[in-house]
Amino acid sequence: MSKICTHFDAYFGKWSAPVGALCMLLVQNRADAQDVAFQSFLRLGGTKDHEIGEDAARILLFKSAVRLCDDYYLKKMHRRPGRKKLMQLALPFPVTDALVSLLRLPFSRQAALALTQFGFSLDEVAEILGVRAQKAARLCADPGIPGWQEALSSMSMTEDETLALNDRICERFAVRSVDVENAIHDARNAFDRIAPVLALLVLALFALAIWYVKR
C-alpha cells in the first residue's frame, strides 16, 4: 500500500467541494472534471513530504488541479458552452445567466476568480497560476457578472460524487505506488507540452536541409 500524507483525510474533507467546483468550472465536462479532481488528490496524497502542513498542502492541491485542468485543455478542442448545451447535460445545479457568463470567461480568469472565492490571497493566486502579482490582480478583478459567486459554489460535487471519489482514491492508494504513478503522469504531460515545439523544430531542420541541398 502506498504511504500517503498523514492528514490526507482531513484535507480531503476540507477541499473536496472547492476542488470539484474548480475542476468543473475549468474542464466544463462533469465526468472529466471528476477525473481531474481524482488526479489532483493523488498528487497531494502521494507527495514526498508525508507530514506536509495545511498551508503547503492547500497550495499543492490547487496548483495540481489548475495544472491538470490546463493539460486537459491542451489535449482537447473546446467550445464555450451555451445555455442550450448546458441544459442538455442534466447538471445537478441550476443553469443561470451567471453560470453561462462565468463559463465563457478565459481559462486563467476563471481559475483566478475561483481561487479568490476559495479564500486564496493575491500572492497565493499568483503562485498557483505561475504569474506575477500584477497579472494576478487583474485576473482576480470583479468580472461584473451578478451572482457569479453563487454560480461557482453551486458547481461543487454532490455528496454521492464526493463519496465515490473518496472510495476511488482509497482503492488506488491501496493497490498502487502513487508517487511513482504521479511522476510518470507528470513526465507524460511535460512531453505533451513540448511535443508541438519538437515537431516545429524537426520541420525547421528538414526545411534547412532542403535549402542546403538546393543552394
Cβ contacts of 8 within 8 Å, gap of 6 or more: 44, 45
The Cα–Cα gap between 192 and 182 comes to 15
For the question of whether the overall pTM of this predicted structure is more than 0.85, the answer is no
| Band (184; pLDDT cuts 50, 70, 90) | very low
- Highest mean pLDDT of the ranges 60-69, 98-107, 165-174, 177-186: 60-69
For residue 174, how many other CB atoms are within 10 A of its CB?
Answer: 9
pLDDT given for residue 187 in this prediction: 46
pLDDT in tens, 82-93: 777 777 666 778
Quote the cell numbers at residue 194: 513540448
Burial of 195 (0-12, 13-18, 19+ CB in 10 A): exposed
